[in-house]
Amino acid sequence: MVPVILDERDRSELLERFLRYVQIDTQSDENSSTSPSTVKQKDLARLLAAELRELGVEDARMDEWGYVWGSVPGNLPGAEALPAHIPTVGLIAHLDTYHGTPGGGVKPQVIRDYRGGDIPLPGTVGERIAVAENPNLERCLGHTIVTSDGTTLLGADDKAGVAEIMMLVAWLRRHPEFHHPPLRLAFTTDEEVGRGTEHFDVPAFGADVAYTLDGSDLGEIEDETFCADSALVTIQGHDVHPGYAKGIMVNAVRVAAALVERLPKEFLPETTEGREPYLHPYDVRGDVAKVELKFLVRAFTEEELAEREASLRAAVAEVQGLFPRARIAVEIKESYRNMAYQLAQDPRVVEYAFEAVRRSGLEPQRKAIRGGTDGARLSFMGLLTPNIWAGGQAFHSVREWVSLEWMAKAVETTLHLLEVWLERSIAR
């Protein structure tokens, strides 16, 4: 059996790849109707397709949507061709970064042999990554830590996953004696705006099972996501010169403020944790005549999701009574559903991931994501796709950081996962 370990050279390459990728601006745009939502995502896509070809992935390409595709043939000792029952495993990460925090001009800061304590961010006066808010830093003493300079996010979500998959391909090329099933690779666009699988052709991808590398803490396998909907509340008011507005003006801004104030305080993101659902007002646009309010609705069950939507409608009804001349409309759209509903169809998909974590010398941590991944939609599209940690912390924030050692362990665990799928499939 080939030892599965990233040596110093591998880790140096993993870091170099990550630093190169995060400096390419790939922010998506939730208000764009194009696909990808920002053309700059293709800058990284082109680079990855070219690098994959340099690594021997002959069919690597970027399509018109900015997705990158590629495949690595499987191998088996003493066999010219793999048996038909050997599954093809997909590995997926997303190219785009979060749209709500500055993401261009990332200046990564590399801290080698981290000795503990808060981490100052040199781009802003007084900005720091506090241990009190990031207890995982205490688990990373002696590690190489990467942050931004504090003026932008870092982009570990999900360029850590991108770099890890690229490093895995490079490792496989260096170790042809390592036996593994066939691989399919995909880097997607627009995951952060909920459109990462919009043009994902599951049959053409050709994988029997897949894994996203897009999680957080060491050893975590994420097999649940929120059930998610979005809500748009449109408030139509009536504008008139404020000097002559008595009895005439209907101020949509005031109506919106009254609605936000009446949301159940116990079901906001800032008051919930664990498996608690939330209702999150996150975008307000408009003026006296018209305001649009966007909400995220999240819960781990469809029943709780419906309850949160009912609470929004109840708040709207109350506000409508206070402002009878305003016109308030609520539109609910489905985003994704808890992938646990689908993963239950084949327990091997998660069990093999747990075994891979153990082979890496770690205790697997099963986690439900208070969010979503491309894997949620893919699972409902027929491709079961749980999530493997990628190592990033404090996602979507200028205080985002990642441990190189945790990234390396994600690569090693994914290699073990390929090993497990091959061994168990041969033994059937």
Whether omega for the bond prior to residue 36 falls within 30 degrees of 0, making it cis, is: yes
Q: Which of 88, 94, 92, 95 is nearest to 203 (CA)?
A: 88
Name 334's bridge partners: 229
CA distance linking residue 58 with residue 64, whole number of Å: 19
- Indicate the length of the chain as a whole number: 428
202 close to 83: Cβ distance less than 8 angstroms: no
Q: Which of 25, 191, 208, 229 is catalytic?
A: 191
Name 284's bridge partners: 293
CA distance linking residue 99 with residue 115, whole number of Å: 32
- Cross-sheet strand order for the sheet of 387-389: 61-62, 68-72, 183-188, 89-94, 209-215, 387-389, 220-224, 365-368
CA distance linking residue 204 with residue 34, whole number of Å: 23
Q: Of all helices (H) and strands (E), which one includes residue 50?
A: helix 41-54
CA quadruple 218, 223, 224, 228: dihedral positive or negative?
Answer: positive
Q: Which of 28, 21, 22, 105 is nearest to 66 (CA)?
A: 28
CA distance linking residue 58 with residue 27, whole number of Å: 28
Three-point CA angle 384, 395, 199, nearest 5°? 40
The tokens describing 140, both together, are: 């990373």
Active site annotation includes 118 = no
Active site annotation includes 355 = no
Q: Which of 51, 96, 355, 419 is catalytic?
A: 96
Three-point CA angle 241, 244, 245, nearest 5°? 75
255 close to 287: Cβ distance less than 8 angstroms: no
> How far, rounded to the nearest angstrom, does the alpha carbon of residue 32 sit from its chain's CA centroid?
19
415 close to 3: Cβ distance less than 8 angstroms: no
* 257: Cβ contacts below 8 Å, ≥ 6 apart: none
Residue with the two structure tokens 């009536």:
238
CA distance linking residue 341 with residue 376, whole number of Å: 10
The tokens describing 391, both together, are: 């190592």
Catalytic residues: 96, 191
